[in-house]
Chains A and B, each alone.
Chain A
Amino acid sequence: MKIAITSEGNSLDSKMDSRFGRCAYFAIYDTNTKTTDFFENPAKDSPEGAGPKAVEFIASKGVKKVVAGEFGGKAKALLEKLNIEMQQEKDKTISEIIKQL
C-alpha cells in the first residue's frame, strides 16, 4: 500500500508539513517495497483549490492513506469519497512517521 506524508523537505529527516493542500512535498512510502519517493506538491502555489488539486495528485499516484497535520474541508470531502484514509500527526520527521506506520 502507498502512504503519502506531507513534508517540508525532500529527505527522510525532513519535518512533516502541517498543511495538506499547500505542503512543500509529498513523501510517498510504499509498504511493500519499503521505499520512499519524494514529490514536489504541484498544488502548493495554487491561488485557489490547492486541497482538491493535492488530492488529485496523490490519488493519481495510487495512494490509499495520507498523513498530514490537518485537512481542509474540500480536501477532506474528496479524500472520503475516494476512500483514502486520513491520519493526523504533528511535529514529527518523515522517518519517525514511517517507523510508527
Chain B
Amino acid sequence: MTKPMKIAIASGKGGTGKTFISTNLYNLLQKKGLNVALVDCDAEEPNARLFLTEGILKSSREVNQKVPVIDESKCTYCGKCAEYCNYNAIFFLKEPKIVNVLEEICHGCGACSVACSYGAITEKDDLLGHVSNFEFSNKSALIESRTRVGVYSSVNVLKAAIKEASGFDLVLFDAPPGIGCPFIQTVAQADYVVLVTEPTPYGLSDLKQSIETLKGMDKPYGVIVNRAGLGNDVVYDYLKKENIPLLMSIPFDKNIAVSYSKGELLTDQDSKWKEKFSELFNKVKEEYGNSNN
C-alpha cells in the first residue's frame, strides 16, 4: 500500500472558510469513490458534521488523560513533585503544609509520579473529550474530535482523532484556527497545508503568521483566497512577491453565503463548483508532488 496523502486545511484567522473548503472537498472526493477521511481537528468547536449529515455514527469513544492523586497520609511534603511539574499544576507549600493538584492545568505528563519516592502519587482518568467516527460510503469517514467544555487544551483529543484516521488512502484535516498548539499539532501530521484566507489586511496579517509558523516546520503550503472581491490587493501582492501558489479563489458571493448558512454543500448543488474543487484537488496533488514528498 502506498503512503496515504495527508492534507491540512488551516488558517491563522478564524472564520475564513476552513470548514467550508474541507467539507466540500471531502464530499466531492468521497462521492467520486475515493477512500478518504476528514478529521475535524477543531476540537473546541467541531462543526463539519453539520454539513456532512449522511454518515452513520459507527463509534464514539472517550479520550482521557491521567491526572495525579496525592495521598496526603504518605506525602512527606518534600516538594519534589511540584519541582518536577513544568506547568505549575501542583500547588505546594511547606508551611502551612499544602499540596494541591490543579487539574485544569495538568498536562498528564506523569513527571510528578516519577518524582515521588514515597508512593504518595497515583493516577486517575480525567475525561478530556470524545472521538466520534461517522461512516460514509466507500468506507470513507468523518472523524470528529470534541473537547469537553472546560478542558484546558484540545491537543490530546485532536491527536486521538488523527490517530484514528489510519488506513485511509487520503486524509484531510480541518485544522483549528490560530497558530497555537492545536494548530501546530494538526499541521505537524500533514504532508501539505492549504491555508485559507480572505483578501483583507486582517486576513494578510494572520496569513503571514501562519506562514512563518509553517516555514519553521518545513511544511509545503499553498493559499486559497475566500471572499475574493472583498477588501484590497494586499494578499495577492504578498503571494506574488513571496512566490506562494494561489490554489483557488472563491468569490464574495451572497448565494454561497446563503447556501452555507443553511448547512448545504456547494459541491452537491452546482456542477461548476464540483469542477472547481476537482481542480483544487489536482492542484494540491501537483504541488504536493513538487514538494518532493
Mask, A49-77, CB within 8 Å of B = 1, is 11011011001100000000000001000
B107 closest partner in A (C-beta): A48
A60's contact among B87, B93, B102, by CB below 8 Å, is which? B93
Q: In the assembly, what is the distance between CA of A47 and CA of B87, in Å? A: 7
Given A49-B102, A52-B102, A74-B102, A59 and B88 touching (CB < 8 A)?
no
Mask, B80-122, CB within 8 Å of A = 1, is 0010001111011111001010101100000000000000000
A78 interface residue per 8 A CB criterion: yes
How many B residues are at the interface, by size bracket?
Answer: 10 to 19
How many A residues are at the interface, by size bracket?
Answer: 10 to 19
Residues of the B chain whose Cβ atoms lie less than 8 Å from the Cβ of A55 = 91
B89's contact among A49, A59, A78, by CB below 8 Å, is which? A49
Given A48-B105, A74-B102, A53 and B88 touching (CB < 8 A)?
yes
Q: In the assembly, what is the distance between CA of A48 and CA of B214, in Å? A: 24
Q: In the assembly, what is the distance between CA of A30 and CA of B288, in Å? A: 66
Q: In the assembly, what is the distance between CA of A10 and CA of B95, in Å? A: 26
The distance from the CB of B156 to the nearest CB of chain A, in whole angstroms, is: 15
B87's contact among A49, A56, A78, A82, by CB below 8 Å, is which? A49
A43 interface residue per 8 A CB criterion: yes
B95 closest partner in A (C-beta): A60
A31 interface residue per 8 A CB criterion: no
Residues of the B chain whose Cβ atoms lie less than 8 Å from the Cβ of A48 = 87-89, 105
Q: In the assembly, what is the distance between CA of A52 and CA of B13, in Å? A: 31
A50's contact among B88, B92, B98, by CB below 8 Å, is which? B88
Q: In the assembly, what is the distance between CA of A36 and CA of B120, in Å? A: 39
Q: In the assembly, what is the distance between CA of A52 and CA of B88, in Å? A: 7
A74 closest partner in B (C-beta): B102
The distance from the CB of A71 to the nearest CB of chain B, in whole angstroms, is: 15
Residues of the B chain whose Cβ atoms lie less than 8 Å from the Cβ of A43 = 88
Beta-carbon contact of B93 and A49 below 8 Å: no
Residues of the A chain whose Cβ atoms lie less than 8 Å from the Cβ of B100 = 78
Residues of the B chain whose Cβ atoms lie less than 8 Å from the Cβ of A74 = 102, 104-105
A88 interface residue per 8 A CB criterion: no
Q: Which 4 pairs between the two chains have the least Cβ-Cβ distance?
A: A49-B88, A53-B88, A48-B87, A49-B105
| Additional A-B contact list (9), CB under 8 Å, known A49-B88, A53-B88, A82-B98 | A48-B105, A49-B105, A52-B88, A52-B102, A56-B92, A60-B95, A74-B102, A74-B104, A78-B100
Interface residues of B (CB under 8 A from A): 82, 86-89, 91-95, 98, 100, 102, 104-105
Pull 9 A–B residue pairs with CB atoms less than 8 Å apart, ordered by A. Answer: A43-B88, A49-B87, A49-B105, A50-B88, A55-B91, A60-B95, A74-B102, A78-B91, A78-B100
